[in-house]
A and B are shown apart, each in its own frame.
Chain A
Amino acid sequence: MTIYYDPASPEQTESLASSQPQFRQNFTAIFEKFLVNHRELNIPSQGQHDVIQLLQQENGIQTNINELNIYSKKVEDQTTQLFLRSQGNGQEVQITNYQLYSLNDLQFFTTLPGGFIVYFGILPSMPTGSQFTVTPTPKSIVSSSFCPNGIANIKSFPPFVYYSDSNKKTGYIDTVTFITPSDKTNTIFSQFYFIVGNFA
Chain B
Amino acid sequence: MTYRKIPISSRSPADSAAPIKQNWIDYQTAFSVNHTPIADSNQGKHEKVTLRRAVGNTFVTGPYDILWADDVSSQAGTQLQLKSRIPQFLPNNVPNTSMQITYNQVVNSGVVTPSQTNPYQSFMIGGFLVFLNQTTIDPSTGTTVTLSPVPTKILSVIAQPCVFPLINVSYAVNIANNSQFQITVSPSSTPILPFSWIAICEA
With a cutoff of 8 Å between Cβ atoms, the chain A residues found around residue B89 in the complex are 78-79, 98-99
B172 touches A110 (CB 8 A): no
- Kindly state whether residue A120 has any CB partner on chain B within 8 Å: yes
Chain B interface residues toward A at CB < 8 A: 2-7, 9, 13, 16-17, 20, 23, 26-27, 30-35, 45, 49-52, 54-58, 63-68, 84, 86-91, 94-97, 99, 124-126, 128, 142, 155-160, 168, 170-175, 184-186, 198, 200
With a cutoff of 8 Å between Cβ atoms, the chain B residues found around residue A147 in the complex are 157-160, 171-173
With a cutoff of 8 Å between Cβ atoms, the chain A residues found around residue B26 in the complex are 41
Interface size on A, residues (CB 8 A): 68
A16 touches B16 (CB 8 A): yes
- Kindly state whether residue A4 has any CB partner on chain B within 8 Å: no
Cα–Cα distance between A51 and B57 once the two chains are bound (Å): 9
Q: A67-107 vs B: 1/0 string, CB under 8 Å?
A: 10010101000111110000000000000101111100000
Chain A interface residues toward B at CB < 8 A: 15-17, 20, 23-24, 27-28, 30-31, 34, 39, 41-42, 45-56, 67, 70, 72, 74, 78-82, 96, 98-102, 108, 110-112, 118, 120-122, 136, 145-158, 189, 192-194
A27 touches B23 (CB 8 A): yes
With a cutoff of 8 Å between Cβ atoms, the chain B residues found around residue A189 in the complex are 172
Q: Which 5 A-B pairs have the closest CB atoms?
A: A47-B33, A16-B13, A148-B172, A56-B63, A152-B186
With a cutoff of 8 Å between Cβ atoms, the chain B residues found around residue A52 in the complex are 49, 51, 66-68
Cα–Cα distance between A48 and B31 once the two chains are bound (Å): 9
Cα–Cα distance between A158 and B52 once the two chains are bound (Å): 47
Q: Which residue of A lies closest to B92 (CB)?
A: A99
A99 touches B200 (CB 8 A): no
B30 touches A46 (CB 8 A): yes
Apart from the given pairs A49-B34, A67-B45, A112-B125, 12 other A-B contacts in the complex at a CB distance below 8 Å? A20-B7, A27-B23, A46-B30, A50-B52, A51-B66, A51-B67, A72-B64, A96-B125, A111-B124, A152-B172, A155-B170, A193-B156
B58 touches A51 (CB 8 A): yes
Q: Which of A15, A121, A158 is the most central at the interface, judged by chain B CB atoms within 10 Å of its CB?
A: A158
B7 touches A23 (CB 8 A): yes
